[in-house]
Amino acid sequence: MLRHNSAGIGRIAAIAIVIIILGVSATIAVVIEHHTTTPTPQSPQTTPTAATTTGTVSQQPTYTSTPSTTPTRFTFGPPNTSVLVDDSQIQPPDALDPATGFTIDDEYYFDAVFQQLVEFNGSNYQIVPVLASNYSVEGNYQSYIFQIRPNVTFSNGHPLNAYDVWFSFVRELYLGQAVGISNYYELTVEPNSTSSGYVLPWGIRHAIQAVTGLPATTNINVTISVLNNMLSNFNPSNTTQAEIMSYPQQAYVVLDPMSFRINLLHPYPYFLQVIAAWWGAIVDPAYVDSHGGVQANTQNSYFDANSGPSTGPYTVVSVGPGFSDIVLEANPNYWGKYAENVPFVAQPAHIRFVVINYGLPHNSRVEDFATNRAQISYVSVPFFGQMYSAYQYREYFSFKQIFFSFGLLPGLFYVSMNTQRFPTNNTYFRLAIVHAINYTEILYKTYVFNGSLYASPMLGPVSPGLPLYNPSGLPAYSYDPNLAAEYLNLAGKQEGFSVTLPNGSVIGNPSSLPLGTLTITYIAPLTPLVGEQLLIIQDELAQIGLSVATQGVTASQALSWTSPQATPNLVYDAWVPDWVDPVLQLVAPAVTTSSYLPAWVNLSSINQIMGVLPFTTNQTQRVELMSEVYNITYNYAPYVWLPDPYEYYFIQPYVHGLVGDPLFGYWYNTLYYANATAG
């Protein structure tokens, strides 16, 4: 999925947010004040104890200490034990409906509110049953059967059953909006079927025709008419609907009210990971149908803006304008309070309210964390020193006590070069760029703090640390401006342009017009880390005579890059997998056109390999085929591979229960407070 890099925002602004949380028996006003200056660190001894008035919770820090010049003991806790404030989220979500949400920024909200049949266990990438009580795998990983956990209800009291599961999986594809379309492609979606303009699970047209007698297999309009009506008036008690859902020769099959089968087009051992995140989330059909229903290729605008009932440990209380913040409340009727064998990631919430602030300015994030207004925060590596220097409790707690790293984030970080548009369609031109950049400088200028690296060099299209990473041991592209100039000279001769080097020499075709200014497009806002990396790239490309500008676009604009012609020549961005299959989730998006990554690599040699590589279980063959992909990609040079960063957060020392992994982060419901003592 697309990831908009979470690096510290370098704008200074003032913002005051007042969030009203309506509780069961009282109204709690949580007041968060943001200031325009970096806070001056001070000892907690000189800070007055937090005062609480009726209906208002002061966000000043609470503490106890021994009244002496040098305190020997210091106890530190949250301003309000019922509220957790998370300032770490740099970008707002793009939608609150799991059948629409696309970007990584949606993740923490979806994880807290919605649930799947199975989920990751929280500490690694192992799978545990959540809405399913158990599951079985048949047919050499081609068929998966799930028993629905009994006594699970949505937050509105509606009981969960297998029909809800069928509705949710079909709707995920049918709306034509979600990341699930890519994730289920070639698994539950027949690739050739999308030529109709609709995304349907395989076999559903045959199911409709077999049950109704209508010509659904030959007339797509019949299929859409039936599904629009069925999904917008969903009623499993209707015999026709029940028979369509139970038709055995299709992707999604209801076996009985509490049993559900998924049949794949190909055996795929990773499939449980595929459905373990929000594109496998189960929603309440009754709520959907009473708030706009379901229409093919159409978002549900109400669900997108407001969320809906869910089975998760939290529910949505309020949503700020433009998703500036989301307030969650622990689900008072959560099924996990009463069930047995509830996995760790599905345990009931410990902290009643969670306030997620999205897109706060850098200085606000620093100040909120420094003064204990926020419990979780984030800044990019160049600002670690500022964060710790501003922290008012640094005399009691070391940097390591407030910093939590999950390790390397499995993903691809890059500047892509559109292989289908001039001038980046020229291989010599792309080779010139990859050899003009000093990757070591980028790594050490943007990812070092106190002598420690918080990123790793990367040579795609697989992330370091994952299986099949660089199996042939190819070297990183060398930083060699002279070699880069030679490649640029060849590109100019082939494409008919000239470039003037800093020493005045003209390379390429001297009789042709000079190459114009190139533009690197990035996803706004421009963070300090991204800005620093872009500046390094601009300066180094200038050494081979290339003039480079930068331009920011919104995330919604980036989602419109659905063809090579609509995609900029150079794009600074990242791609993070939805599960840890290096082939389907990293290689396929990067070096085919399956996921619209902005390099638009479309080589028959790679396409043929990718017809085999994702589904072979022969490990020797997997390594050999991946080596071929690496060699072809290396010489084709569609990307400038940037360092792979660590996934990390700043966490107040009294926050416990933080368990997670680099890909999926942490879960709010596992967090709890226990005062931290120093001295």
> What pLDDT is recorded for position 321?
95
Q: Are 66 and 395 in contact (CB under 8 A)?
A: no
* pLDDT of amino acid 61: 38
Which CATH number fits the domain that encloses residue 617? 3.10.105.10
What mean pLDDT comes out for the span 604-631? 95
- pLDDT at residue 41 tops 50: no
Pair 492, 459 in one domain: yes
Residue 22 is predicted with a pLDDT of 32
* pLDDT score, position 34: 38
pLDDT of 354 higher than 90: yes
Alpha helices in 373-527 (DSSP H): 384-390, 399-402, 427-436, 439-446, 481-495
> In the predicted model, what is the mean pLDDT of residues 114-124?
92
For residues 349 and 56, which has the higher predicted lDDT (pLDDT)? 349
Contact between 133 and 147 (Cβ < 8 Å)? yes
Compute CA distances 618 → 13, 615, 623, whole Å: 56, 9, 9
Domain that holds residue 53: 2-87+350-397+657-678
Whether residue 407 is contained in a domain is answered as no
Q: Specify whether the CB–CB gap between 258 and 265 falls below 8 A.
A: no
Q: Are strands 127-129 and 518-523 parallel, antiparallel or unpaired?
A: unpaired
What percentage of the chain has pLDDT greater than the value 90?
79
Classify residue 329: in a domain, yes or no.
no
Q: Is the pLDDT of residue 288 over 60?
A: yes
Q: Is the pLDDT of residue 15 over 80?
A: no
Domain total of the chain:
3
Q: How confident is the model at residue 19 (pLDDT cuts 50, 70, 90)?
A: very low
Q: In this predicted structure, which of 177-186, 259-268, 286-295, 559-568 has the lowest mean pLDDT?
A: 177-186
Strand 143-148, strand 132-138: pairing: antiparallel
Close Cβ partners of 342 (under 8 Å, ≥ 6 residues apart)? 336
CA 252 to chain centre: 26
- Distance CA(202)–CA(249), nearest Å, equals 9
What is the phi/psi pair of residue 570, to 5°? -125, 125
393 and 448 part of one domain:
no
- Specify the pLDDT at position 105: 80
Question: In terms of domains, do 389 and 514 share one?
Answer: no
Classified as helix, coil or strand, 500 is strand
Q: What is the pLDDT of residue 675?
A: 97
Q: Is 96 a member of any domain? A: no
Q: Is residue 585 part of a domain?
A: yes
pLDDT digits (tens, 9 = 90+) for 81-106: 999 999 999 889 989 999 998 877 88
Contact 477, 633 (CB under 8 A): no
User: Do both 663 and 543 map to the same domain?
Assistant: no
Residue 173 located in a structural domain: yes
Q: 178 and 291, same structural domain?
A: yes
- Decide if pLDDT at 58 tops 50: no
Tokens 């309020």, residue located: 318
- Contact yes or no for 142/263 (Cβ under 8 A): yes
What confidence tens digit (pLDDT) does each residue in 229-277 have? 999 999 999 999 999 999 999 999 999 999 999 999 999 999 999 999 9
pLDDT of 49 reads 32
The tens digit of pLDDT for each residue in 640-673 reads: 999 999 999 999 999 999 988 878 889 999 999 9
Same domain, 112 and 27: no
Are both 393 and 430 inside the same structural domain?
Answer: no
78 pLDDT higher than 90: yes
Q: How far apart are CA 541 and CA 372, in angstroms?
A: 43
Indicate the average pLDDT of the chain. 89
pLDDT in tens, 190-227: 888 888 899 999 999 999 999 999 999 999 999 999 99
Instruction: Give the long-range contacts of residues 478-486, CB within 8 A, separation 24 or more.
Output: 478/435, 479/435, 479/436, 479/437, 479/438, 479/439, 479/440, 480/435, 481/435, 481/436, 481/540, 481/543, 481/544, 483/435, 484/431, 484/432, 484/433, 484/435, 484/436, 484/544, 485/432, 485/544, 485/545, 486/432
Rg (alpha carbons) of the chain, rounded to whole number: 27
Q: What average pLDDT does range 547-562 have in this prediction? A: 92
Of the candidates 658, 666, 59, the residue with the CA atom closest to the CA atom of residue 401:
658
Where is the domain boundary, 266, 287, 312? Answer: 312
Instruction: Kindly report the CATH number assigned to the domain that includes residue 137.
Output: 3.90.76.10
Query: For residue 71, what pLDDT is reported?
Result: 55
Whole-angstrom Cα distance, residue 316 to residue 113? 7
Within 10 angstroms of residue 269's Cβ, the number of other Cβ atoms is 12
Nearest to 631 by CA among 501, 473, 411: 473
Q: Is the pTM of this model over 0.85?
A: no
For residue 78, tell me if it sits in a domain: yes
The whole-angstrom distance between residue 469's C-alpha and the CA centroid of its chain comes to 21
Tally Cβ neighbours within 10 Å of residue 482: 9
Q: Which of 231, 219, 112 is nearest to 166 (CA)?
A: 231
Q: Is the pLDDT of residue 448 over 60?
A: yes
Same domain, residue pair 575 and 447: yes
Residue 54 has pLDDT above 50, yes or no: no
More confident residue, 528 or 521: 521
* pLDDT of 60 above 50: no
User: CA 169, CA 203: separation in Å to the nearest integer?
Assistant: 14
